[in-house]
Structures are given as C-alpha cells and as structure tokens.
Amino acid sequence: MPERPSGTTKPADMRYSLRIGQFMHFIRIPDPDLIPRLLKEFPEFQSRWEEHLAYWKDETPGAYLDMAEFVHFVVEDLYQKEQTERLRDAFALMEALFANGNETTKAFLAWGFFETLQNFASNQPCGSKVFEPFLGPMSRQVWLDIEELWQGKSSLMDVIRAERKSQQE
C-alpha cells in the first residue's frame, strides 16, 4: 500500500464520505453528464457502452453497473492493450471530475470507479497496483482511503459491519 503522508488531513476539496450505507443505492449516476462525457472523451468506449445498454434493454442497470462498464474498459481495453496515453487520459479525467464534483459525485467516483477498479483489477493478472502510477493527488488519497477501509476485511459484509460498529461507538 502506498504510504500516506503522516499528519495530513483532507483539504476542503477532498471532502466526501466512504460510508457504504449512504451510497449503495444509486439508481442513476449523480451527474447526468458523466456518461456522455466519458463517451465524448473516449469514443472507443462507445461499442462497449452500446453492448451494455443492449444487454439491459429497457431496464435501468444502475449507476454502479454503468460505471463498472467504464472500469472494464479501462482495464481490458486500455491497460491490457497497452494504451498507456489513453489510460493516463482516463485517470486525468477521473481526477478532474473528482476535483470539480460535489460531495455526492466524489463519493460516487470513489465507490463507482476507484473501488470497482481496485476490486476488478485485483482479480486480473495485472493486479490493482499497476494503476497506482496513474493516480493524481486526489485520486491517490481516495485509493488509500479505500485500501484502509478494506484492510483486514474479506467481504463487503465485513466492511458494512465495521462501519456500523464505528457508528455505534
């Protein structure tokens, strides 16, 4: 795990919550311009996105499944195909969206993109650590927060139980 500088606190623009219960039920992505922006910045994501929509037909897959589709694109279409510049572009965009987002958008990006990326990539041959060099300062903080949250836990239920326990104390 990358080292967190000691004695640092989150600046005002880093305020977001990693409380699971608060953000697990997004039906729609909190920023309606997010997917159109991803498609504009990454036209090569279009065919994957269309397949995702076709699979769900008239159903709403939900915000996290929508963002997971972009995570799969980042890992499978950018990283695994050695599209390093486009990978840098993806992380730069996530950094900018996080920097300019409200608290809800920041939390969604933390869970929807960064946490999903850590989980998905950790089950790939490359692992999740290969993405750390692409993190900007804010996304690095999010990455570390997520790693800290998951430390010593093996399931989402462990994370939820720990969260509830800390709220009761």
pLDDT digits (tens, 9 = 90+) for 46-74: 999 999 999 999 888 888 899 999 999 99
pLDDT digits (tens, 9 = 90+) for 61-113: 888 899 999 999 999 999 999 999 999 999 999 999 999 988 888 888 998 99
> pTM of whole model > 0.85?
no
Encode 120-133: b = buried (16+ Cβ within 10 Å), e = exposed. Answer: bbeeeeeebeebee
DSSP string, 23-47: HTT-SS-SSTTHHHHHHHH-GGGHH
